[in-house]
Amino acid sequence: MRRSMRSLLVATAAAALVLPLCAVSAANATPPGFSSADKDALRNQAPSDLAIGSAVWGKQQLTDYDPAAPTEYQQVLGAQFSSLTPENDMKWDAIHPAPGVYDFASADALVAYAEANHQQVRGHTLLWHSQNPAWVTEAGAAWTCDQARDVLEDHIRTVVGHFKGRIYEWDVANEIFQDTWDNGGVRLRTEANPFLRACADDPVALLVDAFRWAHEADPDAVLFLNDYNAEGVNEKTDAYYELAERMLDAGAPLGGFGAQGHLSLLYGFDTSIQANFERFAALGLQVAVTEADVRIPLLEGETGPTPEQVAVQAERYDAMLEACLNVTACSSFTVWGFPDANSWVPDVFPGEGWATILEDDYSPKPAFDAMLRSLQDATPGVSPRRG
Ligand code: XIL
């Protein structure tokens, strides 16, 4: 029988209202209204040195936030997670819609919600080939490298500076390598990314400076490279490893490597995640799973997955989490939103779905239960945290 989270959440949310709000000092400081006796909350069961996050679209879910009357979604988000990633609110098209025009409204709402719920925020993202506003894609076609650098520097300093001290990890550069199957194989996206294109003569120099600008704007934020198909040891992560070495040699304040963790049951599972994380950790970097979801191909006429698919999904979520738990340098594990009704998967991968860890009524799937058990077994500060 499925457990419902509803009663637990309503009780804890009510208790939260009478406590004063204060800054979070640790990823998993017990949120108001919770005690260590609450065994059903991921954030409570996580070791204290690992943030457990979710993506959230602030514009859709948080701009109406009233601490006295949170929506059920907002209650679950606050109860379960110690970290939030803006699913869209800090992307260029949302936050910098026209030259010189910055719109922080929904990102500010997200950060305010996070702070009210004693959560940390992962910033996402400052340099990407996707979700750029028209003015960047159009004007960018004719940019010289100096022009592109000026635009990017202004953006990074303004956005990172706006949130200074309130973001613990920033995905500075997202998906900067193209895939093996694209023309030319794994190499920097000097065609699709307008900034890398303008500076294609020396894209690494641009990356080094992008990280420097971010670091100057917020010296406390840990600055990440982030990508998909970057979980295990493969051609793409080999390229990232080399890039990370080059950037560190050049003095870049690179602090972390993020594997997005968008998996599908259509493909095999790479068991080398821990080995991959360990090699980046050996460079002195933090690692993270930044956007985990496990999508399931749904048969025509079927409304849900088979029991076997459900079990495999749970194993894969848990395997990603365990890789993170087994590497002390893994600082955060983030799922890419919940419940399925909010997931990006059906829009982008037709025929696939059921990708998140919670049902649409917020009851836990086996994937959630598997993760909760792994977190309960883990010990903070010990490598591996699961002994
Ligand atoms: C996705 C969002 O979930 C969608 O709402 C949006 O329409 C497209 O982008 N890799 C990333 C994320 O780094 O920013 C993407 O998020 C998913 C893939």
Distance CA 78, CA 208 (A): 35
In a domain, 141, yes or no: yes
In a domain, 102, yes or no: yes
Residue with CA nearest ligand 1 atom 16: 87
Structure confidence at residue 181 (pLDDT): 74
Give, for 156, the enclosing helix (H) or strand (E).
helix 145-162
In a domain, 334, yes or no: yes
The minimum-distance atom of ligand 1 relative to the CA of 55 is 3
How far, in Å, is the centroid of ligand 1 from the Cα of 91?
A: 10
pLDDT band at 386 (very low <50, low <70, confident <90, very high): low
CA atoms within 13 A on the CB side of 100: 0
Would you say 243 and 285 are in contact if contact means Cβ atoms under 8 Å apart? no
In a domain, 244, yes or no: yes
Give me the number of domains the chain comprises.
1
**Closest C-alpha to 125, from 81, 91, 165:** 91
The minimum-distance atom of ligand 1 relative to the CA of 336 is 3
Would you say 298 and 343 are in contact if contact means Cβ atoms under 8 Å apart? no
Would you say 208 and 251 are in contact if contact means Cβ atoms under 8 Å apart? yes
Tell me the best of 56, 59, 84, 87 to mutate to test the pocket of ligand 1, counting ligand atoms within 8 Å of each CB and taking the most.
87
pLDDT at residue 173 above 80? yes
In a domain, 10, yes or no: yes
In a domain, 161, yes or no: yes
pLDDT tens column, 334-374? 999 999 999 999 999 999 999 999 999 999 999 999 999 99
pLDDT tens column, 241-288? 999 999 999 999 999 999 999 999 999 999 999 999 999 999 999 999
115 is a catalytic site residue: no
Residue with CA nearest ligand 1 atom 12: 87
Buried b (16+ CB within 10 A) or exposed e, 295-313: bbebeeeeeebeeebeebb
Structure confidence at residue 33 (pLDDT): 39
Residues with CB under 6 A from ligand 1: 87-88, 174, 260, 291, 344
The domain of 195 spans 2-381
291 is a catalytic site residue: yes
Tell me the best of 89, 263, 291 to mutate to test the pocket of ligand 1, counting ligand atoms within 8 Å of each CB and taking the most.
291
The minimum-distance atom of ligand 1 relative to the CA of 57 is 5
Helix axes 235-249, 203-217, angle to 10 degrees: 70
Q: Looking at residues 325-334, what average pLDDT do you find?
A: 97
How far, in Å, is the centroid of ligand 1 from the Cα of 333?
A: 17
Beta-strand pair 286-297/352-353: antiparallel
Backbone phi and psi for residue 172, each to the nearest 5 degrees, phi listed first: -70, -50
Give, for 123, the enclosing helix (H) or strand (E).
strand 120-127
In a domain, 387, yes or no: no
- Pick the range with the lowest mean pLDDT from 3-7, 104-108, 126-130, 273-277: 3-7
Residue with CA nearest ligand 1 atom 13: 174
Residue with CA nearest ligand 1 atom 14: 87
CATH number of the domain within which 42 lies: 3.20.20.80
Q: What is the value of pTM for the model shown?
A: 0.91
How far, in Å, is the centroid of ligand 1 from the Cα of 341?
A: 15
State the catalytic residue, choosing from 87, 169, 175, 322: 175
The minimum-distance atom of ligand 1 relative to the CA of 174 is 13
- The mean pLDDT of the chain is 90
**Closest C-alpha to 253, from 284, 291, 288, 298:** 284
In a domain, 386, yes or no: no
